[in-house]
């Protein structure tokens, strides 16, 4: 597949700058792959679109405020975006101004300092945080939520870039399809359906677009995932009984398709799975997802699930109907 096949026209005014209020008032575009029918709903209508026996899988990762504006010893400005911790206490990060920063340089911001240990290329580096009161506490004081660059201001409430079921800290971005759930909506769904958690820490590939013309040449960065044994048992049982497994978000899809592949993978590990058209899905029976950027690995995944031409048609419909796009935008249910 060529990168240009993932292009589409989007008026800039359809890029959502603020989340829907309340969360579940976001619009929901429903696509039935079997019949070809398209329905226009709202996210609070999701329970009505689920079938008896459906099992929902959500990604319970929690976003930390890992975007750190810092100062160099020279007085110049710098920025560090912490992506993922390493076993030795260092973090992989995106840093800027990358070309000016040198190994061994120390960046300061009040209760937190960061030493650049190693330059990795492409704006990436290994940094060592120093926070006497604990890193998570320091980030809560001085860090910012790592919003994508197309969102131009931080939300008044940082929790709006967090799912209501977020538990395990470790993501550099939110699993945005889950941002539409409210506690009340989840309770309505749980009253009729199983809902199980998996965890995938959202990492570097969320922040970088495709830099190659041929998708076969794109290298995915690995991301850590975990599935609890009881959750794995529930997912397997639903699949074996012919019930539909509904993945909330592309991150949940990647966990499902990594763990329950043929042959299966361990319940905890790392995945580089890159799903493109032609992929045969093993476990995902339906998917809730937002509308994604052109030339993105996420859009390639959606095309793999829904079909290339059907996805293009859905996106044309969403644009024509004024749906809101990207992280704070509206949602799509593909069944």
Q: What is the pLDDT of residues 116-160, one digit of tens each?
A: 999 999 899 999 999 998 999 999 999 999 998 899 988 889 899
What pLDDT, on a 0 to 100 scale, did the predictor assign at position 93? 93
Instruction: Give the separation between CA 251 and CA 304, rounded to whole angstroms.
Output: 14
> Which structure tokens are listed for 169?
């800290």
Query: Residue-wise over 309-324: b if at least 16 C-beta within 10 A, else e?
Result: ebbbebbeebbeeebb
What pLDDT, on a 0 to 100 scale, did the predictor assign at position 219? 84
> Which structure tokens are listed for 255?
């966990």
Domain residue ranges of the chain, discontinuous segments joined by +: 3-63+156-334, 67-142
Q: Tell me: the pLDDT tens digits for 165-220?
A: 999 988 889 999 999 999 999 999 999 999 999 999 987 666 667 788 998 998 88
What pLDDT, on a 0 to 100 scale, did the predictor assign at position 92? 92
What pLDDT, on a 0 to 100 scale, did the predictor assign at position 175? 95
The sign of the torsion formed by the CA atoms of 122, 219, 235, 333 equals: positive
- Cβ atoms 36, 315 nearer than 8 A: no
> Which structure tokens are listed for 309?
């031409």
What pLDDT, on a 0 to 100 scale, did the predictor assign at position 207? 62
> Which structure tokens are listed for 31?
């696509």
- Reported in sequence order, the residue ranges of the chain that DSSP labels E, i.e. its strands, are 27-31, 38-42, 55-59, 61-63, 67-71, 77-85, 91-96, 106-109, 112-121, 124-130, 168-171, 194-200, 223-226, 245-248, 268-271, 286-290, 331-334
229 Cβ contact partners less than 8 Å away, ≥ 6 residues apart: 267
What pLDDT, on a 0 to 100 scale, did the predictor assign at position 205? 66
- Cβ atoms 279, 286 nearer than 8 A: no
Instruction: Give the separation between CA 48 and CA 38, rounded to whole angstroms.
Output: 15
What pLDDT, on a 0 to 100 scale, did the predictor assign at position 302? 98
Q: 240: how many CB neighbours lie within 10 A of its CB?
A: 8
Q: Tell me: the pLDDT tens digits for 42-65?
A: 999 999 999 999 999 999 999 999
Beta bridge partners of 198: 59
Instruction: Give the separation between CA 155 and CA 177, rounded to whole angstroms.
Output: 17
CATH code of domain 3-63+156-334: 3.40.1780.10
Nearest-Å Rg of the Cα atoms of the chain is: 20
Q: Tell me: the pLDDT tens digits for 293-331?
A: 999 999 999 999 999 999 999 999 999 999 999 999 999
Q: Given CATH 2.40.10.240, say whether it is the number of domain 67-142.
A: yes
What pLDDT, on a 0 to 100 scale, did the predictor assign at position 122? 85
Q: What is the distance in angstroms between the CA of the first residue and the CA of the last residue of the chain?
A: 24
From the list 75, 71, 142, 77, the residue with the least C-alpha distance to 112 is 142
Q: How far is CA 86 from the centre of its chain?
A: 20
> Which structure tokens are listed for 283?
């476990």
3-state secondary structure at position 69: strand
Question: Has residue 34 got a pLDDT over 70?
Answer: yes
Q: Tell me: the pLDDT tens digits for 258-293?
A: 999 989 999 999 999 999 999 999 999 999 999 999
What pLDDT, on a 0 to 100 scale, did the predictor assign at position 204? 67
């Amino acid at each position: 597949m060529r990168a240009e096949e993932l292009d589409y026209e989007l008026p800039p005014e359809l890029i959502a700058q603020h989340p829907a209020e309340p969360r579940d008032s976001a619009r929901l575009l429903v696509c039935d792959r079997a019949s070809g029918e398209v329905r226009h709903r709202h996210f609070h209508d999701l329970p009505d679109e689920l079938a008896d026996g459906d099992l929902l899988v959500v990604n319970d990762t929690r976003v930390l405020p890992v975007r750190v504006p810092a100062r160099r010893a020279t007085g110049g400005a710098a920025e560090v975006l912490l992506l993922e911790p390493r076993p030795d206490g260092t973090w992989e990060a995106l840093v800027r101004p990358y070309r000016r920063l040198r190994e061994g340089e120390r960046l300061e911001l009040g209760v937190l300092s960061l030493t650049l240990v190693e330059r990795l290329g492409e704006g990436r580096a290994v940094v060592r945080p120093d926070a006497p009161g604990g890193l998570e506490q320091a980030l809560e004081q001085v860090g910012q939520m790592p919003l994508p660059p197309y969102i131009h201001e931080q939300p008044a409430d940082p929790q709006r870039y967090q799912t209501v079921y977020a538990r395990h800290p470790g993501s550099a971005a939110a699993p945005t399809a889950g941002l539409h759930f409210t506690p009340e909506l989840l309770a309505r769904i749980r009253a009729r359906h199983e809902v199980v958690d998996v965890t995938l820490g959202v990492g570097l590939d969320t922040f970088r677009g495709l830099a190659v013309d041929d998708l076969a040449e794109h290298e995915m960065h690995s991301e850590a995932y975990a599935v609890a044994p009881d959750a794995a048992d529930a997912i397997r049982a639903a699949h074996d009984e012919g019930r539909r497994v509904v993945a909330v978000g592309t991150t949940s899809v990647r966990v499902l398709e990594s763990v329950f592949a043929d042959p299966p993978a361990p319940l905890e590990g790392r995945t580089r799975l890159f799903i493109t058209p032609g992929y045969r899905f093993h476990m995902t029976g339906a998917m809730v997802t937002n509308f994604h950027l052109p030339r993105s690995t996420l859009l390639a995944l959606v095309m793999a699930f829904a079909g290339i031409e059907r996805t293009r048609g859905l996106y044309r419909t969403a644009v024509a109907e004024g749906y809101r796009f990207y992280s704070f935008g509206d949602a799509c249910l593909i069944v």
